């Protein structure tokens, strides 16, 4: 698998360039097949990117937006990726997009994962765009080091869909798309900022133990080329 490092002067320049690239890919997908799909990540890093993308001029009514992963918390929780995306992306022109959440009120997280898998089954085969982040521990999506379902989540033979994950460093239980659902996105991006994250990435590039640093699965085994967007 090949990867390309795109370096920007600062986070604002990165956000603008990434929004441009994603907009181009979404427009192309709409032109080719009438619809487009994008899976995005949470955390503080993508806020500026979301803001930049929300104002892009494209036929947002034909775009389906979902999350790469989500905490098992209600949509109005301050810990919810749903709330983050609703606040920073699903506004302005992007307010016309269709949002498909991963969290669903259900008797258990396993039941919620089944619902999310069914609700997202019509998109992401493959995703037109998937934007990944990375934590300081080398996790991406909710593929956490030594997570209880990590091996299954990272196995490309595991069916596309949403599954659960619990890990010591994860806080709440998580809902996450499987690696098989993300790795063949037509535009696969890793968005990271800061020297610390760059150092983590360089460490990951120098090894193969995916249980220690799950981002290695993306670096070493993703089906699509990986575009890395980084700013200090």
CA 62, CA 27: separation in Å to the nearest integer? 10
Secondary element (H or E) of residue 24:
helix 11-33
pLDDT for residue 103: 98
Consecutive sets of 10 residues in the chain, 232 residues long: mean pLDDT of each?
Answer: 94 98 98 98 96 98 98 95 98 98 97 98 96 97 98 98 95 97 98 98 96 98 98 98
Q: What is the dihedral of CA 84, 121, 111, 163, to 10 degrees?
A: -70
How many Cα atoms occupy the beta-carbon half-sphere of 107 within 13 Å? Answer: 1
Domains defined along the chain, listed by start: 3-231 (3.40.50.1360)
pLDDT for residue 169: 82
């Amino acid at each position: 698998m090949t990867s390309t490092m795109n370096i920007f002067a600062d986070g604002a320049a990165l956000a603008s360039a990434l929004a441009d690239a994603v907009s181009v890919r979404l427009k192309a997908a709409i032109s080719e097949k009438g619809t487009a799909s994008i899976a995005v990540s949470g955390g503080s890093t993508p806020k500026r990117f979301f803001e930049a993308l929300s104002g892009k001029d494209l036929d947002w009514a034909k775009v389906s937006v979902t999350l790469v992963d989500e905490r098992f918390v209600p949509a109005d929780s301050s810990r919810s990726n749903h709330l983050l995306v609703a606040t920073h992306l699903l506004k302005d022109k992007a307010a016309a997009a269709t949002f498909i959440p991963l969290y669903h009120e259900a008797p258990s997280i396993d039941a919620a994962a089944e619902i999310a898998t069914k609700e997202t089954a019509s998109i992401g085969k493959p995703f037109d765009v998937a934007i990944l982040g990375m934590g300081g521990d080398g996790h991406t999506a909710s593929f956490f080091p030594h997570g209880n379902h990590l091996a299954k989540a990272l196995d490309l033979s595991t069916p596309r869909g949403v599954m659960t994950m619990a890990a010591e460093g994860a806080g709440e239980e998580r809902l996450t798309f499987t690696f098989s659902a993300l790795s063949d996105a037509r535009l696969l991006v890793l968005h990271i900022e800061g020297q610390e994250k760059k150092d983590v990435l360089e460490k990951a590039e120098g090894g193969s133990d995916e249980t220690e640093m799950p981002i290695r699965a993306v670096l070493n085994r993703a089906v699509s080329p990986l575009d890395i967007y980084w700013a200090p």
